[in-house]
Amino acid sequence: EVQLVESGGVVVQPGGSLRLSCAASGFTFDDYAMHWVRQPPGKGLEWVSLISWDGGSTYYGDSVKGRFTISRDNSKNSLYLQMNSLTTEDTAFYYCAKDGTAARSHFDYWGQGTLVTVSS
């Protein structure tokens, strides 16, 4: 059974930093690209970032480019999102999602999400 479990969401002050983690199990982790998607409470979905199966290619949405860094450790079946220079606009549930391929396609499994609140 595929499982994705996010952790690391907390309350952080504006300008602060945070690292989210996503522990994956139930599939061959290094066969697939992975994504982060976020959702402000009560609002729609926003794609945040994509990392290729081997970590060699990374991509970001415009709203986080230069502030967030996606990475993965295939030896630990883990995905990460380093978030710097946080603003109140970054307050959201953050989901990790497995891609259906090694590149970019549909998101066939999602974690339960972790809530990041940016507030003073």
Residues that bind another protein (CB under 8 A): 35, 37, 44-47, 50, 59-62, 95, 100, 104-108, 110-113
Between 67 and 104, CB nearer to another protein: 104
Shortest distance, CB of residue 87 to another protein, whole angstroms?
19
16: exposed, middle or buried (Cβ count in 10 Å: 0-12, 13-18, 19+): middle
Q: What would the two tokens of residue 23 be?
A: 């522990």
Shortest distance, CB of residue 27 to another protein, whole angstroms?
15
Between 16 and 21, CB nearer to another protein: 21
Instruction: Measure the CA–CA gap between 118 and 40, rounded to whole angstroms.
Output: 11
Between 13 and 62, CB nearer to another protein: 62
Between 44 and 75, CB nearer to another protein: 44
* Secondary structure of residue 104 in the 3-state scheme: coil
What Cα–Cα distance (Å) separates residue 68 from each residue in 19, 71, 80? 9, 10, 10
Nearest C-alpha neighbor of 52 from the set 103, 90, 99, 7: 103
Shortest distance, CB of residue 119 to another protein, whole angstroms?
21
Shortest distance, CB of residue 60 to another protein, whole angstroms?
8
Over its C-alpha atoms, the chain yields an Rg (Å, rounded) of: 13
